[in-house]
């Protein structure tokens, strides 16, 4: 399929499933702002319907959705330049998801590692929605014919599934209707790890608050979490190769590189050989320096939630003008009769 037929369009989403973390910032938000500023049409979604695949307290979900919107804006997303909205306000996502539930195969879904990680040993008790999550994610993306999706490394498999769904739909109906969307996974921090366990991804839904840095943490909390971050007893190695078998050290260096917009090799020239007692305060200072303006701005925006709600409703209306005709054409291709409501 000729990809050139599709206008470049960026889509990505974040779940309002807890506090935004440094992982979300470096792996997603910071890079969303770059893509917006390069002038590509960009659509960003608070994916509340993904968040409810595990139970959410209604009051907390409401707060987290607004705070997430504040996090987007404070990270540099401009609601005039980009489209910002919450997923439940655009019903085309779930309508398209049903279509994709009928395209995706059980065998594909069963391979998804996020489901296995999140359901854990208790898969029989997980919601059907948690299992179907990647089909909704494919719908989020393809209902806009998005060509590029900036995400963290953990979402690579879901993007491959999205491509597989698009390919099967196009093949089954003999059309070149859905693009082969490309994941964009770039930079030093595509997978920020937990501060307590260098083999586990930093996540906003991790029960341990010490495992992550939240964008709403104050300077003392950030410094404390970095000071207590798990490390090994050796000083930092002299070059990047020396980090290979040291996941905790590598994670802290990657964070330092991403926060300062430098390469890991460049950072190693500065910090190689230093003990953690010297490196951790440097990292804490840098993290506070970069995060404090974002958390201050989030707090300021949260003082006026009606303005945030207005931004989301306006974004949803703009998103629908793109999604509705694409869903309508999808239905027509499939043979549904009659105009859409």
Considering only residues 56, 155, 163, 214, which one is a binding residue for ligand ATP as defined by CB under 6 A?
A: 155
Question: Strands, E, within 20-88: which ranges?
Answer: 41-46, 83-86
Stretch of 16-24, 119-127, 239-247, 258-266 lying at the interface with ligand ATP (CB under 6 A): 16-24
Task: Put residue 64 in one of left, alpha, beta given phi > 0 → left and psi -120 to 50 → alpha.
Answer: alpha
Residue 207: HSE in the Cβ half-sphere, 13 Å Cα cutoff? 1
With CB atoms as reference, the residue minimizing the distance to ligand ATP is 27
- Nearest distance from C-beta of residue 30 to ligand ATP, angstroms: 10
- Contacts for 106 with CB less than 8 Å, ≥ 6 apart: none
Q: Which among 1-9, 87-95, 183-191, 300-308 is the span making contact with ligand ATP, rule CB under 6 A?
A: 183-191
Of residues 82-111, those binding ligand ATP (CB under 6 A): none
Which residues 6+ apart lie within 8 Å of 15 measured at CB? Answer: 46, 47, 48, 50, 51, 204
The three-point CA angle 126-53-89 to 5° equals 160
In the list 91, 154, 219, 247, the residue contacting ligand ATP (rule: CB under 6 A) is 154
Query: CB under 8 Å to 211, separation ≥6 — which residues?
Result: 194, 195, 196, 197, 200, 202, 203
Verify binding: residue 184, ligand ATP, rule CB under 6 A. no
Look up 168 and say whether it is catalytic.
no
Which residue in the set 151, 229, 267, 271 belongs to the binding site for ligand ATP (CB under 6 A)?
A: 151
Residue among 11, 19, 21, 311 that touches ligand ATP (CB under 6 A): 21
Binding mask 198-217 for ligand ATP (x = CB under 6 A): ---xxxxx------------
Q: Is 132 in the site for ligand ATP (CB under 6 A)?
A: no
How far from 265 is each of 118, 137, 245, 258, CA to CA, in Å?
Answer: 34, 35, 16, 12
Active site residues: 118, 201, 204
> What residues line the site for ligand ATP (CB under 6 A)?
14-15, 17, 21, 23-24, 27-28, 151-152, 154-155, 189-192, 201-205
């Amino acid at each position: 399929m000729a990809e050139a037929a599709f206008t470049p369009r960026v889509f990505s989403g974040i779940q309002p499933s807890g506090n935004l973390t440094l992982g979300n910032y470096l792996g997603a938000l910071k890079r969303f702002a770059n893509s917006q500023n390069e002038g590509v049409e960009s659509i960003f979604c608070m994916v509340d319907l993904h968040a409810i695949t595990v139970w959410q307290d209604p009051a907390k979900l409401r707060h987290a959705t607004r705070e997430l919107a504040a996090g987007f804006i404070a990270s540099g997303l401009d609601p005039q330049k980009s489209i910002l909205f919450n997923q439940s306000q655009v019903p085309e996502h779930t309508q398209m998801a049903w279509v994709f539930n009928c395209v995706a195969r059980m065998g594909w879904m069963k391979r998804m590692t996020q489901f296995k990680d999140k359901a854990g040993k208790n898969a029989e008790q997980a919601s059907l929605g948690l299992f179907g999550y990647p089909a909704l994610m494919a719908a989020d993306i393809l209902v806009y014919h998005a060509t590029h999706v900036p995400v963290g490394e953990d979402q690579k498999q879901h993007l491959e599934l999205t491509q597989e769904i698009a390919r099967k739909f196009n093949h089954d109906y003999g059309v070149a209707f859905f693009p082969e969307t490309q994941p964009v996974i770039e930079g030093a921090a595509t997978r920020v790890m937990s501060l307590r366990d260098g083999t586990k991804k930093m996540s906003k839904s991790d029960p341990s608050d010490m495992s992550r840095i939240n964008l709403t943490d104050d300077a003392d909390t950030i410094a404390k979490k970095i000071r207590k971050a798990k490390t090994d007893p050796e000083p930092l190695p002299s070059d990047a190769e020396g980090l290979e078998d040291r996941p905790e050290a590598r994670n802290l260096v990657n964070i330092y590189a991403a926060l300062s917009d430098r390469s890991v090799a460049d950072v190693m020239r500065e910090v190689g050989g230093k003990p953690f007692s010297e490196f951790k305060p440097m990292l804490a200072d840098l993290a506070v320096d970069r995060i404090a303006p974002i958390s201050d701005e989030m707090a300021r925006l949260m003082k006026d939630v009606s303005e945030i709600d207005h931004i989301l409703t306006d974004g949803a209306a703009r998103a629908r003008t793109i999604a509705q005709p694409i869903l309508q054409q999808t239905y027509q291709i499939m043979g549904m009769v009659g105009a859409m409501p």
